[in-house]
Amino acid sequence: MIKLLFLSYVFVFTLFADEPIVPIPLDEPIDIPKAKLGKELFFDTLLSRDNSIACVSCHDIYNGGADNRVVSIGFNGAKGNIHALTVLNARYNFKQFWNGRVNTLVEQATGPLSDPTEHNMDPRKIQERVNLSKKYKKMFKEAYGTYTITYELILDAIVAFENALTTPNAKFDKYLRGEIKLTQDEQEGYTLFKQYGCITCHNGINVGGNSFQKMGTFVEYNATATFPDRSDVTHNKEDINVFKVPTLRNIAKTAPYFHDASAQTLKEALTIMSKHNLGIELSSQESDKIILFLETLSGDMPKILDTF
Amino acid sequence: MKLRRIIYFVLVVGVLSSFAMVYFYTKQKAFSENYKQFLSSMYYLENAEETLNYLILQNAIYIYHNHDAIAQKQQEINDTFQTLQTSKILLDAHYKTINLSLEKLQSQIQESNTKIEKYLRFNASVKNSLLFLTRHIDNAAESLKQESCSQECKDIFLNANLILKHYNNATRMQDLDYIKDTKLILSDTAKEKKNIDFIQSFNLHAVFLQEQYPQYIATTKNIFKSHIGLTLQQIRANFTALALSDFKALNAFSIILFSILILFLTTISFLFLIYMRENKKLLETKESLEYSLVYDQLTELYNRTSLEKKLQTIEHPHIMLINIDSFKNINDIYGNSIGNALLRKIARLLENKLSHIENLKIYRLGADEFGVLFTNVLSSKVLNIAHILEKDIASHSFIFGDLEIHITVSIASNHIEPILENADLALKRIKKDPTKRVIEYKESLNLKKSVQENLQMLETIKMALLDDRILPFFQPIVNLKTLKIEKYEALVRLQLTNGRYLTPYKFLDTARKSSLYEEITRIMFEKSMRIAKEYPQYRFSINLAMRDILNDALTKNIFQIFAQEKEVASRIDIELLESEDLHDIELVQAFIDKLHSFGSKILIDDFGSGYSNFAYFAHLDIDTIKIDGSIISEIAINDKKMHMLRSIHNFSHGMDIVNIAEFVETQETAMLLREVGIAYGQGYYFGHPLPAPLEQDEIIFS
């Protein structure tokens, strides 16, 4: 009997590979002049039709890189149709947007810029505006060696900045690198995270952001809502309520949670997730421990934000 | 030049084929690079596809698995496919089938991606529920450490473990049979509260798993049913086959191009060799031409051109002309080859004799003439050298086998401009003087003057002919027995514009060297005939040189004039002046026969002087001889001359030839002539030449 238990125990744990979470590299190469230029553009309302919003309006990079509103407010007060994702560590996502409709950050950037409810701009307009600026002329010359500023260069600069938006040195990353030890509770939180299967979807460098999963595999979740989910891309009924698994890095800073921003706190989010996707009910203690673990995923602010 | 044109043509072909080669090479390089790129992309795709399959398999086995690698691999596959699709090699219509296959591949990849996406979803939920079940049992087992376990508890525990084992097996084997037959949920017959809770939670997931498994396993299997690998292999095989045919064509083309290049190189080398050879020939010809411009081929001395050039460049030249006397005779006697050999020997002799003297050059200037050019030298020294040289050559024996030839040379030295002409004049002067061998040109020789005079004389003659101032004078010829004038000799005179007359000694030699001589002869005949017609009582004689008979035009003219006045012609005799160049005796005899037919007589002039030749008389029908003045004028004072006179008289008498004595200037001479028995006399004693004959045949002694 004991023997059997022991065997099954061993069986389960021997199937765990190396830690499925990978730390963020400390030495991601960054093209400083381009990134600085991108930062300038990221913060510039010039990139919206009525000069009202900038990229940073909805991606508050000083506070988790996402929007603390349910949906973002764009051009002329228009509302977005989904909760804004964080721009921090976006480079590590396998696809962009909640439904993963594009592969690259360049493609991603064109989305909000041209969306009528967001920046409501077109490439020509952006090009014109940026070309009129002496500041940008100078900066582009410095970064790209040309005074001819094209839309492509503008996007490239923004992406260069976004690529610099990584948050290394999270406590958990340091733990993974063997530099520090987690507290007892954090350690237990991580174990729970694995044992309850959160890790099945939230793994990799971004602790998520590398697969699509259905919101509500176990218990159906809000079937009537019409968010732009994966089925918008695949036109497959099975993909309703399927979204890109969001990153859990800096998750403590990016409330509210989920595509519909239905959870205001991590505890709420954990309750919803464990119910709908894991078919379990977490105890309050378990939730707290997992939250303690999740908090170790908050990393350093991107260095590029300190440079001007 | 034809060869050059061929070379140009071949060069153009060569350049073109080189360009073609370079063009072809870049094409080929681009092609093989594209080929390699495409193929390596293919290999990469095949590899990535297998890696992806491996990662998914790994993912299926491991409960904790990082999806990053899968997402990354998918992205790589997509990117690689993009490079494949945009590969330059596919632009060729030849690879249309590959493009079609790629489209198929693309849909397969997309399909595969969709399947993976689906798989990951099922995989996650199945794994999570399996995890839950494991942990659920685990937790229960943990609590067993503190609490006792009833039979019901044990049964449930065993069953739960069994059910979990089935699911785990089904997962591992990816085989639904493990869960097909049994209803893999715990029966809800438990009574203990603890057990009821356990069963409830357990069954929630067990039921979920039962629902999910068919789709989960189907999806997993579906992934590995992918035909991507096969399609990739097919594409690669197709592509390789197509490319192979392209490579073959390229190879064939490269062989052709290479052959052309080799051919070109061979041809160009060959042509170059020919060109070099021709060039060499040309160079040799040029060299020999240049040599012959400067050198005399026979003697290898400098030639005349070379001398003339040299004279233009130097100051104070002094020339020494060395002419071989009677070189023509040597050629005639010994033949040209000996003549040439002799010239070479003379050239070597000159070089030898003059080698110790500085500042001189030896030239061959003409057939029998050498020149030595000195610079800055004293005339006396040159003259001294000339004398020594002349003696050396004269005493030198030129030996050719058994033959020993001796020659003499005439040498003229000159340093007065025009240097060559003056030297020539001087040389001509000593050629006429057999006593002298060496001469130095001096203005005082008046050599130039005689040339000048000759020219002036020619002009005078021309003018005289134009003004009809050439006319005959007549000198009586007296019968020494009767002392009556029987004949007149017509003597040519040129009347000068001042009224004075020139005797033929002054102008006839000059005229003879020009075409004017014939005209003079014609005028003499016409005018003499006219006079003869007026004086039918006399005979007349006109002078002709022996060589004039050889002049066809002249003799024809004479006979035409004769034919017009036959009576007069019968009274006209011809006085022939002997000369050395009479060779064709028969021609002369024919002329004489023709004269005889007119009744004209033939007379040999100046007999007994110079070249008198008794042989004539054997072959020619001579009528009369005129005994030379050099004998007649001295018979009174010189016994030898008297004896000669007698001998000639006897000879002519024996030959039945009439004789006439000229230069009869004194009575004494006339008497002596009569004594000897000479038939006729002529000279100042009997009468000077006059513009017309006397009416009377009496002699008027002045």
Q: pLDDT for A119-163, tens place per residue?
A: 889 999 999 999 999 999 999 999 999 999 999 999 999 999 999
Q: pLDDT for B473-504, tens place per residue?
A: 999 999 999 999 999 999 999 999 888 998 88
The DSSP secondary-structure symbol of B396 reads P
Smallest CA–CA distance, residue A32 to chain B, in Å, is: 26
How confident is the model over B404-426, as a mean pLDDT? Answer: 88
How confident is the model over B65-91, as a mean pLDDT? Answer: 89
Q: Please, how many CA atoms are within 13 Å of residue B373, restricted to the half-sphere of its CB?
A: 23
Tell me: do A125 and A198 sit in the same domain.
no
Residue at A4 is within a domain: no
- Put simply, the answer to whether B131 touches A197 (Cβ < 8 Å) is yes
Contact A43, A59 (CB under 8 A): no
The amino acid at B71: A
- Tell me the Cα Rg of chain A: 21
Choosing among B57, B61, B64, B209, which should be mutated to test the A contact, i.e. which has the most A CBs within 10 A? B64
Kindly state the percentage of chain B with pLDDT values over 70.
Answer: 98
A104 and B CB contact within 8 Å:
no
Q: pLDDT for B500-550, tens place per residue?
A: 998 888 888 888 877 788 889 889 999 999 999 999 999 999 998 887 888
Tell me: do A230 and A173 sit in the same domain.
yes
Residue A10 has pLDDT above 50, yes or no: no
Q: At what angle do helices A2-14 and B151-173 cross, to 10 degrees?
A: 30
Question: Looking at residue A184, which CATH number applies to its domain?
Answer: 1.10.760.10
Smallest CA–CA distance, residue B68 to chain A, in Å, is: 5
Measured over the CA atoms of residue B198, residue B204, residue B210 and residue B216, the dihedral's sign is negative
Q: pLDDT for B199-219, tens place per residue?
A: 888 988 888 888 888 888 888
- The pLDDT assigned to A5 comes to 47
Interfacial A residues in 260-299 facing B (CB < 8 Å) = 277-280
Residues of B in contact with A212 (CB under 8 A): 117, 120-121
Which residue in the set B61, B68, B164 is minimally distant from A204, CB to CB?
Answer: B68
Tell me: do A187 and A153 sit in the same domain.
no
What per-residue string of b and e applies to A159-192 under the rule 16 or more CB within 10 Å gives b?
A: bbbbbbbbbbbbbbbbbeeeeeebeeebbbbbeb
> Which segment of A112-116, A174-178, B11-15, B34-38 scores lowest on mean pLDDT?
B11-15
- The pLDDT assigned to B530 comes to 92
- Which of A145, A164, A183 lies at the terminal end of a domain, its last residue? A164
Tell me: do A265 and A183 sit in the same domain.
yes
Overall number of domains in chain A: 2
Give catalytic residues of A, as residue numbers: 118
- Which of A126, A145, A164 lies at the terminal end of a domain, its last residue? A164
Which residue in the set A8, A17, A204 is minimally distant from B161, CB to CB?
Answer: A8
> Which segment of A11-20, A88-97, A276-285, B79-88 scores lowest on mean pLDDT?
A11-20
Residues of B in contact with A9 (CB under 8 A): 138
Q: pLDDT for A185-231, tens place per residue?
A: 999 999 999 888 899 899 999 999 999 999 988 888 887 778 899 99
A89 and B CB contact within 8 Å:
no
- Put simply, the answer to whether B66 touches A200 (Cβ < 8 Å) is no
CA pair distance B487, B601, nearest whole angstrom: 12
Question: Which of the four pLDDT bands, split at 50, 70 and 90, describes residue A285?
Answer: very high
Contact B322, B369 (CB under 8 A): yes
Which residue in the set B66, B71, B125 is minimally distant from A20, CB to CB?
Answer: B66
Choosing among B128, B136, B145, B167, which should be mutated to test the A contact, i.e. which has the most A CBs within 10 A? B128
Tell me: do A62 and A150 sit in the same domain.
yes
* Domain assignment of residue A246, given as a range: 15-24+168-295
Residue at A141 is within a domain: yes
How confident is the model over B605-615, as a mean pLDDT? Answer: 74
- The pLDDT assigned to B15 comes to 86
Residue A2 has pLDDT above 60, yes or no: no
Smallest CA–CA distance, residue A17 to chain B, in Å, is: 6
Tell me: do A260 and A200 sit in the same domain.
yes
Residue with tokens 């240049």: B290
Residues of A in contact with B81 (CB under 8 A): none
Across chain A, mean pLDDT equals 88
Residues of A in contact with B80 (CB under 8 A): none
Residue A266 has pLDDT above 50, yes or no: yes
Contact B222, B43 (CB under 8 A): no
Tell me: do A130 and A223 sit in the same domain.
no
Tell me: do A195 and A95 sit in the same domain.
no
Residue at A131 is within a domain: yes
CA pair distance B385, B130, nearest whole angstrom: 140
- Put simply, the answer to whether A20 touches B64 (Cβ < 8 Å) is yes
How confident is the model over A38-58, as a mean pLDDT? Answer: 90
CA pair distance A102, A93, nearest whole angstrom: 11
- The pLDDT assigned to B511 comes to 83
Tell me: do A235 and A285 sit in the same domain.
yes
- Put simply, the answer to whether A217 touches B124 (Cβ < 8 Å) is yes
Higher pLDDT, A106 or A6: A106
Q: Which residues of B touch A (CB under 8 A)?
A: 58, 61-68, 70-72, 74-75, 78, 114, 117-118, 120-121, 123-125, 127-129, 131-132, 134-135, 137-138, 141, 154, 161, 164-165, 168, 204-205, 208
- The pLDDT assigned to B107 comes to 92
- The pLDDT assigned to B611 comes to 60
Question: Which of the four pLDDT bands, split at 50, 70 and 90, describes residue B612?
Answer: low
Q: pLDDT for A174-190, tens place per residue?
A: 999 999 999 999 999 99
- Put simply, the answer to whether B67 touches A15 (Cβ < 8 Å) is no
**Nearest chain A residue (CA) to B164:** A8
Residues of A in contact with B141 (CB under 8 A): 5
Contacts of B565 (CB under 8 A, 6+ apart): B529, B533
How confident is the model over B213-227, as a mean pLDDT? Answer: 85
Residues of A in contact with B138 (CB under 8 A): 9, 12
Residue B234 has pLDDT above 60, yes or no: yes
Smallest CA–CA distance, residue B129 to chain A, in Å, is: 7
Smallest CA–CA distance, residue B264 to chain A, in Å, is: 50
Residue at A2 is within a domain: no
- The pLDDT assigned to A8 comes to 47
Smallest CA–CA distance, residue B14 to chain A, in Å, is: 46
Q: pLDDT for B292-310, tens place per residue?
A: 788 888 888 888 888 888 8
- The pLDDT assigned to B702 comes to 61
Contact B456, B650 (CB under 8 A): no
Residues of A in contact with B68 (CB under 8 A): 22, 92, 94, 203-206, 210
Residue at A7 is within a domain: no
- Put simply, the answer to whether A12 touches B63 (Cβ < 8 Å) is yes
First to last CA, chain A: 66
Residues of B in contact with A238 (CB under 8 A): 118
Smallest CA–CA distance, residue B131 to chain A, in Å, is: 7
Here the tokens at position B565 are 């006045």
Residue B579 has pLDDT above 70, yes or no: no
A204 and B CB contact within 8 Å:
yes
Residue at A306 is within a domain: no
Tell me: do A240 and A279 sit in the same domain.
yes
Residues of A in contact with B65 (CB under 8 A): 17, 20, 200, 203
- The pLDDT assigned to B616 comes to 75
- The pLDDT assigned to A13 comes to 44
Tell me: do A172 and A160 sit in the same domain.
no
Cβ contacts below 8 Å, chain A against chain B, sum to: 122
Which residue in the set B74, B117, B129 is minimally distant from A279, CB to CB?
Answer: B129
Which residue in the set B75, B123, B164 is minimally distant from A103, CB to CB?
Answer: B75
Question: Which of the four pLDDT bands, split at 50, 70 and 90, describes residue B141?
Answer: confident
A213 and B CB contact within 8 Å:
yes
Smallest CA–CA distance, residue A217 to chain B, in Å, is: 7
- Which of A96, A131, A164 lies at the terminal end of a domain, its last residue? A164
Residue at A135 is within a domain: yes
β-bridge partners, B373: B319, B361
Q: Compute CA distances B21 → A216, B150, B251, B553, whole Å.
A: 68, 93, 12, 82
Distance of CA A145 to the CA centre of its chain: 32
Residue A7 has pLDDT above 70, yes or no: no
Across chain B, mean pLDDT equals 87
Which residue in the set B68, B75, B154 is minimally distant from A205, CB to CB?
Answer: B68
Choosing among A198, A217, A233, A240, which should be mutated to test the B contact, i.e. which has the most B CBs within 10 A? A217
- Put simply, the answer to whether B124 touches A197 (Cβ < 8 Å) is yes
How confident is the model over A272-289, as a mean pLDDT? Answer: 92
- Put simply, the answer to whether B71 touches A94 (Cβ < 8 Å) is yes
β-bridge partners, B539: B487
Residue B571 has pLDDT above 60, yes or no: yes
Residue B700 has pLDDT above 90, yes or no: no
A196 and B CB contact within 8 Å:
yes
- The pLDDT assigned to B182 comes to 65
Higher pLDDT, B483 or B608: B483
- Closest-CA residue to A42 (of A148, A159, A125): A159
Residue B434 has pLDDT above 80, yes or no: no
CA pair distance A67, B646, nearest whole angstrom: 171
- Closest-CA residue to A98 (of A228, A270, A211): A228
- The pLDDT assigned to A306 comes to 81
Which residue in the set A205, A212, A279 is minimally distant from B117, CB to CB?
Answer: A212
Is the peptide bond between A33 and the residue preceding it cis, with omega within 30 degrees of 0?
no
- Put simply, the answer to whether B120 touches A22 (Cβ < 8 Å) is no
A146: left (phi > 0), else alpha (psi -120 to 50), else beta? beta
Residue A6 has pLDDT above 70, yes or no: no
Residue at A303 is within a domain: no
Tell me: do A121 and A79 sit in the same domain.
yes
Q: pLDDT for B114-138, tens place per residue?
A: 889 988 888 888 888 888 888 888 8
- Put simply, the answer to whether B208 touches A203 (Cβ < 8 Å) is no
Residue B409 has pLDDT above 70, yes or no: yes
- The pLDDT assigned to B582 comes to 62
- Put simply, the answer to whether A94 touches B121 (Cβ < 8 Å) is no
CA pair distance A10, B6, nearest whole angstrom: 92
Residues of A in contact with B118 (CB under 8 A): 238
